[in-house]
Amino acid sequence: MPRTRQELEQIERKSLAPFAQFSGDTRGREFSEPPPEWRTQYQRDRDRVIHSRAFRRLEYKTQVFLNGTGDHLRTRLTHTIEVAAISRNIASALRLNSDLAETIALAHDLGHSPFGHKGETVLNQLMRGHGGFEHNLQSLRVVEELEQKYPKFSGLNLSWEVLEGLAKHQTAFDRPGISKSFIAKNPSLEAQIANLADEITYYSHDLDDGLDSELLSEKELIRNVRIFAQAAKLVKKEFGNLAEESRRYFIIRTIIDMQIRDVLETSEKLIREAGVNSADDVRRFPKPLIQYSAGRRKLNIELRKYLYKNLYFNEVVNEPHIRAKQLLRDLFGYFVKHPKEIGEQARKRIRKDGKHRAICDYIAGMTDRFAIAEHQKFFGNKLKFAP
C-alpha cells in the first residue's frame, strides 16, 4: 500500500531534527481544505507551485543575459531549479524539512518581472506613490491572489510556512488567526536556507555564464577573485590539465561545494550554540542561524563586487537592459492611458486594487518575449532587440 500522509509525517518526526519545521505542525492555510492523502502539506505546496502558470513563465524571463541570447545561458527558471536543488541538499544535511526548503526555493522568484532586476527597478519607479514594486512581495501576491486555478479561492492557498519564507522580512508572516503573542525575529531554518541558497546559486552560476559568454576570463578571475583562484588551484591539483569545458565546470562545482560546506559547518555550530529545540525557538531567536562564516562572507563580497564591475555593468549585458527599461516605461504609460488593453484577469482587478496596481501585475507577469511583442504591437520597431 502507498504511504499515507500520516505515515510520512511520522517519518519526519523520527528522522528530522527537533528544530526542523514538521509538516504535521503547519499553521495551516487561509482557506480550509481536506488534507492530502499521499503527500505531506509541503509536498502539496511544491506541486502547486510547479503546476502554476507563473512558474512556467520563468522559462522566458531574464536571469542576467536577455532571454534568448544564448542556448546555454541561464533563465529565471533554470536559476530557480538550481536554487531548489541546493536548498534541498543543505536542508537534508542539517536534518531539516527538505520539502519545505525546496518549495520556498521553487516559489521565490514567481513574482519577478521581465528583464531581471532592471525590470524590477523600473516597475518600482513607475509605482512610486502607488505602493512600489518588489519581487519578493510580488511572489507572495502571485501565490495569494493572482494565480486563478481553484474554484473556491484565488491564489494557490499555500501553507503559512511557505508564505513566511517568501515574505523575507524579520517578523512572522502576518496571518489572521496567528496569536499576537507570537513574536518572531526570523523565519524557519528552511526559509533561511532557501534565501542563502539563492545567493550561492546566482553568484556561482553567473560566473559560469560570464565565462561561457566570454565576458569574463579565467586568467583575470584567478588574478582578482580569491574564491575562484582557490577553486582553480584545487581542480588543477586533483585533475591536472583538463579540457576547457570540463575545467570550468569543475571550478564552478568546487566553488559551490566550498560554499555549501562553509554554510553547513557554520550553521551547525550556530544552531548548537543557540540551543533551539523547536521551529518556533528558531523564529524567536534574535539572528539568523543559517549563515556563512565571516571569512567566507568577505570572499563572497569580493566576488560580488567583481561581478558587478565586470559582468552586470558590462555593455553587452547592460545595453539591452537599458532598452528593456525604456520598453517597460512605454508599456506602462500606454496601459495607463488604455487600460482596456491589459489582460482580462488584470482588468478585473482594477476596481479592487486600482489601475496602476493592475497594470503593474500585468506587466510583472510578462515574459521577456511577450513584453517585446506587446511593445512592437503598440510602438512598432522603435526599440531593437537581438534575437
| pLDDT higher than threshold 70 for residue 181 | no
Neighbours of 221 (CB within 10 A): 23
Q: Is residue 99 part of a domain?
A: yes
Question: What's residue 278's pLDDT?
Answer: 97
| pLDDT higher than threshold 90 for residue 326 | yes
| pLDDT higher than threshold 50 for residue 224 | yes
What values do phi and psi take at 62, rounded to 5?
-65, 140
Structure-block grid coordinates of residue 172: 512572522
| Greatest mean pLDDT among 139-143, 166-170, 213-217 | 139-143
| pLDDT higher than threshold 80 for residue 176 | no
Q: What's the whole-number mean pLDDT along residues 265-279? A: 98
pTM of the predicted model, to two decimals?
0.93
CB 75 within 8 A of CB 67: yes
Orientation angle between helical segments 98-107 and 41-50, nearest 10 degrees: 20
Distance from C-alpha of 328 to C-alpha of 201, rounded to nearest angstrom = 27
pLDDT band at 387 (very low <50, low <70, confident <90, very high): very low
Distance from C-alpha of 155 to C-alpha of 141, rounded to nearest angstrom = 8
Distance from C-alpha of 176 to C-alpha of 98, rounded to nearest angstrom = 27
Q: Interior CA angle at 217 toward 256 and 68, to 5°?
A: 75
Question: What's residue 170's pLDDT?
Answer: 43
Of the candidates 169, 162, 72, 79, the residue with the CA atom closest to the CA atom of residue 116: 79
Span 279-293, pLDDT tens digits = 999 999 999 999 999
62 in helix, strand or coil? Answer: strand
Question: What's residue 66's pLDDT?
Answer: 61
Q: What's the whole-number mean pLDDT along residues 359-385? A: 89
Q: What's the whole-number mean pLDDT along residues 344-370? A: 94
Q: Is residue 325 part of a domain?
A: no
Span 248-263, pLDDT tens digits = 999 999 999 999 999 9
Q: What's the whole-number mean pLDDT along residues 24-34? A: 95
Split into its structural domains, the chain has a count of: 1
Distance from C-alpha of 92 to C-alpha of 99, rounded to nearest angstrom = 9
Question: What's residue 383's pLDDT?
Answer: 67
Distance from C-alpha of 70 to C-alpha of 74, rounded to nearest angstrom = 9
Cα atoms in the Cβ-side hemisphere of radius 13 Å centred on 203? 22
Span 41-97, pLDDT tens digits = 999 999 999 999 999 999 988 776 665 555 557 788 999 999 999 999 999 999 999
Residue 215: domain span: 5-317
Question: What's residue 175's pLDDT?
Answer: 54
Mean pLDDT (the chain, rounded):
91
Question: What's residue 67's pLDDT?
Answer: 58
187 in helix, strand or coil? Answer: coil
Higher-confidence residue: 74 or 178? Answer: 74
CATH number of the domain to which 56 belongs: 1.10.3210.10
Neighbours of 290 (CB within 10 A): 27
How many residues appear in the chain?
387
Residue ranges in 243-367 assigned as alpha helix (H): 244-274, 279-284, 294-307, 315-337, 344-348, 350-353, 355-364
Question: What's residue 75's pLDDT?
Answer: 86
Q: Which long-range contacts (CB under 8 A, 24 or more apart) does 218-222 make?
A: 218/247, 218/248, 218/251, 220/310, 221/306
pLDDT band at 1 (very low <50, low <70, confident <90, very high): confident
Full DSSP string of 17-52: -TTS--GGG----SS--PPPSSS-HHHHHHHHHHTS
Q: Is residue 9 part of a domain?
A: yes
Q: What's the whole-number mean pLDDT along residues 283-308? A: 95
Q: Is residue 96 part of a domain?
A: yes
Q: Is residue 120 part of a domain?
A: yes
| pLDDT higher than threshold 70 for residue 180 | no
Q: Is residue 232 part of a domain?
A: yes
pLDDT band at 168 (very low <50, low <70, confident <90, very high): low
Q: Is residue 178 part of a domain?
A: yes
Distance from C-alpha of 371 to C-alpha of 327, rounded to nearest angstrom = 8
Q: Is residue 383 part of a domain?
A: no
